[in-house]
A = this chain, B = another copy of it.
Amino acid sequence: MEFDVEQGTAILTRTPSVMREMLSGLPPAWTDATEGPDTWSPYTVVGHLIHGEETDWIPRAQIIIAQGADRRFTPYDRFAQFRESEGKSLQELLDEFARLRTDNLAILRGWRLDDDQLALQGEHPALGVVTLRQLLATWVAHDLGHIVQVARVMARQYRVAIGPWHAYLSVMNP
């Protein structure tokens, strides 16, 4: 499937409410659960999505669209949420994510991107030359990947509880 602004936006619009339906009001036994040391809880994931809204997707798209002399992206901090979520409730994070996403989608829509703009390039600090189209497709896939992660982390809390059904539930296996 090729990236299409309309179809991609359909996913991006839904992610905050998907996260809210999955997590809002759930006991911490679910929302603070992880897959083991150095893995992320649903709470951590929501903080990570917030940091992406603030520093990754739209800021990088702006660098590409500006087509200035330096089109190199600022490296993304994958661990910022451990600092920035501190003291915030999950509910606050879910609200903040929804607010930032709404603002960023308004910016995206305002650009009315055409194919020529989607082909414009920037420079990823590690991956090299990338197009705006690839960046926006990654925004979408990244959302979906973290929905996968949140559901998987929670499913695996019942790895032992399901007993012999373990054999049938592929979500339990790495």
Contacts and interface: CB of A to CB of B under 8 A. Distances in A.
Contacts of A130: 163-165
User: Chain A interface secondary structure, helix, strand, loop or mixed?
Assistant: helix
B145 A155 contact: yes
Copies in the complex: 2
B21 A14 contact: yes
Contacts of A20: 21
A147 B169 CA distance: 13
- Give the residue among A30, A133, A148, A172 with the most B Cβ atoms within 10 A: A148
Interface stretch (A82-90, A99-107, A108-116, A136-144): A136-144
A151 B144 contact: yes
Contact of A145 (B25, B134, B169): B169
B131 A158 contact: no
A161 interface: yes
Interface stretch (A3-11, A44-52, A64-72): A3-11
B3 A161 contact: yes
List of 4 A-B pairs having minimum Cβ-Cβ separation, nearest first: A145-B171, A144-B155, A134-B163, A137-B161
14 contacts: A10-B27, A14-B21, A14-B22, A17-B21, A20-B21, A127-B165, A133-B161, A134-B163, A134-B164, A138-B158, A141-B155, A144-B171, A145-B169, A148-B171
